[in-house]
Amino acid sequence: MRKPSTLVICCGAVAREILAIIDENGWDHMRVECLPAKLHNDPDALPEGVRAKIRDGRQRFDNVLVLYADCGTGGRMEKMLAEEGVEGIDGAHCYEVFAGSQVFRDIMAEETGCFFVTDFLARHFETLVYKGLGLDRFPRLRDAYFGNYKKLVYLAQREDADLMARAQAAADRVGLAFEVRYTGYGGFQEFLASR
């Protein structure tokens, strides 16, 4: 087996999917390294965390790719990637990347009050969202957090009965209608396939 020559930097929230894409395609020249998903809670720190990973990766790999969209950084991610001369994936966030920009816009045109969940968030909703926002201790905060949402849209990367049940339970837990859209790996697959 040859040594990986391309470093793929991504969020821990999409790592399982990125590893699956690479494995399913037999791309043994790629190695995945992640930053913690919790960095999304600090959009100021996210671009600099990615920058540090890029600089470290350049010491060990011929090529570096970044699979972070803007992710709430207000353009700072794109600016940092341009400064570093590294190619990144387009999009506002992983929801848009999974769904595809046009499909995402269509969903939002139908109903702006959508709370999006991926396989990762379906798997970890209870811990990251429900308990993470303190709804287990302060249920009255439900309306403060979710009062403007109408439905939970599950962007499913794969058909999985357990994840489907978890996503439905998440919608029920916060009192939202439930919708499923099968996306597969969406733009992540397309981006990596073109490299």
- Is 32 part of a structural domain of the chain? yes
Q: Are residues 37 and 102 in the same domain?
A: no
Q: What is the C-alpha to C-alpha distance for residues 19 and 33, in angstroms, rounded to an integer?
A: 10
Could you list the residue range(s) of the whole structural domain that residue 100 is in? 96-182
Kind of pairing between the strands at 151-156 and 177-182: parallel
pLDDT at residue number 3: 66
Q: Are residues 150 and 171 in the same domain?
A: yes
The SS3 assignment for 9 reads: strand
pLDDT at residue number 43: 85
Task: Encode pLDDT of 14-73 as tens digits.
Answer: 999 999 999 999 999 999 999 988 887 788 899 999 999 999 999 999 999 999 999 999
Task: Encode pLDDT of 117-152 as tens digits.
Answer: 999 999 999 999 999 999 999 999 999 999 999 999
- Is 191 part of a structural domain of the chain? no
Q: What is the C-alpha to C-alpha distance for residues 168 and 173, in angstroms, rounded to an integer?
A: 9
Q: Are residues 105 and 162 in the same domain?
A: yes
Q: In the predicted model, what is the mean pLDDT of residues 88-115?
A: 96
pLDDT at residue number 2: 55
151-156, strands of its sheet edge to edge? 114-117, 151-156, 177-182
Task: Encode pLDDT of 158-188 as tens digits.
Answer: 999 999 999 999 999 999 999 999 999 999 9
Q: Are residues 61 and 121 in the same domain?
A: no
pLDDT at residue number 41: 78
Report the number of distinct structural domains present in the chain.
2
Residues 35/45, Cβ–Cβ less than 8 Å? no
CATH number at residue 25: 3.40.50.510
Q: Are residues 19 and 61 in the same domain?
A: yes
Q: Are residues 100 and 178 in the same domain?
A: yes
Q: Are residues 176 and 106 in the same domain?
A: yes
Q: Are residues 115 and 171 in the same domain?
A: yes
pLDDT at residue number 72: 92
Angle between helices 15-25 and 186-193 (to 10 degrees): 40
pLDDT at residue number 195: 87
Angle between helices 76-84 and 45-58 (to 10 degrees): 20
Q: Is residue 103 scored above 90 in pLDDT? A: yes
Residues 18/25, Cβ–Cβ less than 8 Å? no
pLDDT at residue number 42: 84
Which domain-ending residue is among 89, 112, 132?
89
Residues 66/6, Cβ–Cβ less than 8 Å? no
- Is 74 part of a structural domain of the chain? yes
